[in-house]
Structure 1
């Protein structure tokens, strides 16, 4: 049967792009189908009024992320070292009072926990927190971390999932160590450039038909046939793709146990960097769970703060509207930076909650307390259909690094399977002759 490619990759985020390049390097033909008009997935960029390209989505990398750092060097992209050195601050009603969350004992207890411990079965993060002997301040700070990074209410996230996900982040330095001067999207663009003309934007996939020998992928424009398909999109969006025949029940359950996070990312651009370095390593607010600010100035003249609103706070604020969000963030940043601080030159808001193609951010999160095998089942896939995303990565899930690792691992498994298939079919052909 004539095929359009050996492998069709659904999604041109970092998972899909990394997978596609690995497959090409293994000598396989590839077609990459991307729903958006641009590549990058949860990485996206925009231009400020001064012509500077900035990040609207995923942004940060560090020296402990070898795969993404190697790609950045290969693409010769300029790195900006953030002012992360030091400790993130928690600001109380009196801005002079700040506390380090390195002093919080709950982090050590989380790191010491075993996600397979039967005692954790059925416990949400909120349940676990209630059981802990710790100060209310420590609990509030830990809860704010959960809301700010996993971006969902703590009472719906299994505690074992938090432990399992967190232990895969092995960075010894801050994950916020660097960002790319031309935005993280510039790296996605560079990766896609190597794959052209095999990348097709604005081509969402509607359905996948699989049988013993091939797969057929349907879009609004085309019907494409391949030996294998890799669905390289987040689980919540992957389950929107109709599968023929329906996925086996365990795999369908594994896809159905995720929920996308709620996060709003805001850039405040200033005419110059006038603030004290003491606030540049990150700021959260006591009594406001899931609100975080970080200095993303490229230099003294290209000054900016990024503000993240995550979890229940994002869900609450977005209902109140963009005007409320802007007013509230301006007030808080003004109080933080001082009464004499100038107003930002620009205020740019990106709400990732319920995003059409990503579903949310920073990632999808398991909310089924019994779904310990969900990631394993998704990595295994079914027949000639495989799944990969940053969420499924054994290293740095939810980060760009994790997306690259997940894509490459999935691609290697597919390439190995097709190599075995080719060897076996070649052997059968020799026997027939």
Structure 2
């Protein structure tokens, strides 16, 4: 399918280099590129960062174990992701899920067989019914307005923390409709909040980054790193993709990057107004993630359940994400405004604050990890936040209508464009397959 046409780009003559150029080497872009290659199309992948993986980021610990600082969990319903893991010859292992998640206030557990527990149960039931029926779910109604109806106060706080954990946004900044849409597309409230049998069911041996690298290995030198796309020009003859290092010609383009990155590209001609509005309507959340690594998961010795939700203090949740045969991995997540609050601390002070906050639950030994790894995704120059872009108030319908609609020769991928499991790797993979199919049909 590769064309030999040549054309003028600025003052340079540029040869067509691929049937399709894919922008972004996260799970969506890598999936699209693999699908195109399997179908016999020529493809080039341009990635602005110095690595593949996008919102998957894996480091190596002092214990030589894989540490995920980005997305990591594989849900029970994530069929495409599970198939990909198997196809790459990589194994999964079950998330540690012994006992019940503990809710802490002031470092002390609160009983869920209480008014707080009853209030949470009623609130979640009401929310689940609203998601299914649509009653009371309006895109001009803030999540904070809905939370204000939950009683008692501590139950309201618990639900606020739990929902902020999922959206990474302040409850004033997201609509109840956007939250309901997220639940409906991801298997429901129970699925999203559950470990075993839910969205946090399993983990990838070697980390999510190993999976991305395995996909990239298949593509070889078709991937160019440190290649930030600056402009895209469409014509009846094809598409010109410009970078700081030059330009290339293709028949089609798939853009598979986080929403903020799409706004930094100059489009000629300009994108339709509806899509431009969509780009600015999807806002990334703020999220800080840290993983402390120990010789072994010692907290299990005294029956610690390995999961904790904190209603106060500097962090919001902690999980035991240790690989089956060790070492011990303790994952901490801090979403929304609390993540921004950690920015004021130095790296050393932040580490001390994070580990001190979990010491009462996991034991004083957490103060001395072999290594400590952290990532503030709101400062990542390519993603600019996590876990995904959510619509601003009153924009959900427009986003639904436009998020995956091709604009001329440009096709859109990325977890935000998926109709199911958006915000997860599963959604990214599904979107990559869909965009590749569109491009192939148009070649």
TM-score by length of 1: 0.90
Deviations 1:77-102 (A, max 9, x none): 13222213543221123634343879
Measured on the aligned residues, the alpha-carbon RMSD in Å equals 2.2
Equivalence for 1:400 = 425
CA distance in 2: counterparts of 1:116 and 1:256, whole angstroms: 26
Deviations 1:34-84 (A, max 9, x none): 111111000011111222221111111133211111111121213222213
CA distance in 1: counterparts of 2:98 and 2:186, whole angstroms: 19
Q: Does residue 147 of the first structure (1) align with residue 172 of the second (2)? A: no
CA distance in 2: counterparts of 1:371 and 1:399, whole angstroms: 18
Give the counterpart of 2:293 among 251, 255, 269. Answer: 269
Does the aligned pair in 1 maintain the 2:107–2:360 contact within 8 Å?
Answer: no
CA distance in 2: counterparts of 1:235 and 1:343, whole angstroms: 38
Equivalence for 2:183 = 166
Name the CA shift for 1:290/1:244 in 2 (closer, same or farther; >3 Å): farther
CA distance in 1: counterparts of 2:372 and 2:165, whole angstroms: 20
Deviations 1:334-369 (A, max 9, x none): 111234666322222211113111111111221142
- Which structure 2 residues correspond to residues 57-72 of structure 1 after superposition, within 5 A? 57-72=70-85
Structure 2 stretches lacking a partner, 5+ long: 7-15
Equivalence for 1:184 = 208
CA distance in 2: counterparts of 1:19 and 1:290, whole angstroms: 36
Equivalence for 2:267 = 243
- Judge which range, 72-81 or 148-157, deviates more: 72-81
Name the CA shift for 1:119/1:391 in 2 (closer, same or farther; >3 Å): closer
Q: Does residue 95 of the first structure (1) align with residue 122 of the second (2)? A: no
- Which structure 2 residues correspond to residues 6-405 of structure 1 after superposition, within 5 A? 6-93=19-106, 95-99=108-112, 104-114=121-131, 120-130=138-148, 132-170=149-187, 171=191, 173-276=197-300, 279-288=304-313, 291-299=316-324, 301-339=326-364, 343-405=368-430
CA distance in 1: counterparts of 2:260 and 2:389, whole angstroms: 7
Question: How far 1:310 moved relative to its partner?
Answer: 0.7
Structure 1 stretches lacking a partner, 5+ long: 419-433
Question: How far 1:291 moved relative to its partner?
Answer: 1.0
CA distance in 1: counterparts of 2:342 and 2:366, whole angstroms: 25
Question: How far 1:331 moved relative to its partner?
Answer: 1.1
Q: Secondary structure at the match of 1:120?
A: coil
Q: Secondary structure at the match of 2:108?
A: coil
Equivalence for 1:430 = none
| Total equivalences in the alignment | 417
CA distance in 1: counterparts of 2:339 and 2:366, whole angstroms: 26
Does the aligned pair in 1 maintain the 2:94–2:202 contact within 8 Å?
Answer: yes
Equivalence for 1:410 = 435
CA distance in 1: counterparts of 2:218 and 2:273, whole angstroms: 38
Question: How far 1:324 moved relative to its partner?
Answer: 3.1
CA distance in 2: counterparts of 1:96 and 1:44, whole angstroms: 32
Name the CA shift for 1:94/1:290 in 2 (closer, same or farther; >3 Å): closer
Question: How far 1:289 moved relative to its partner?
Answer: 8.6
CA distance in 1: counterparts of 2:185 and 2:362, whole angstroms: 35
Question: How far 1:281 moved relative to its partner?
Answer: 4.7
Question: How far 1:105 moved relative to its partner?
Answer: 2.3
Q: Secondary structure at the match of 2:386?
A: coil
Name the CA shift for 1:384/1:86 in 2 (closer, same or farther; >3 Å): farther
CA distance in 2: counterparts of 1:17 and 1:98, whole angstroms: 45
CA distance in 1: counterparts of 2:176 and 2:34, whole angstroms: 36
Q: Secondary structure at the match of 2:379?
A: coil
Question: How far 1:314 moved relative to its partner?
Answer: 0.4
Equivalence for 1:431 = none
Question: How far 1:225 moved relative to its partner?
Answer: 0.7
Q: Secondary structure at the match of 1:362?
A: strand
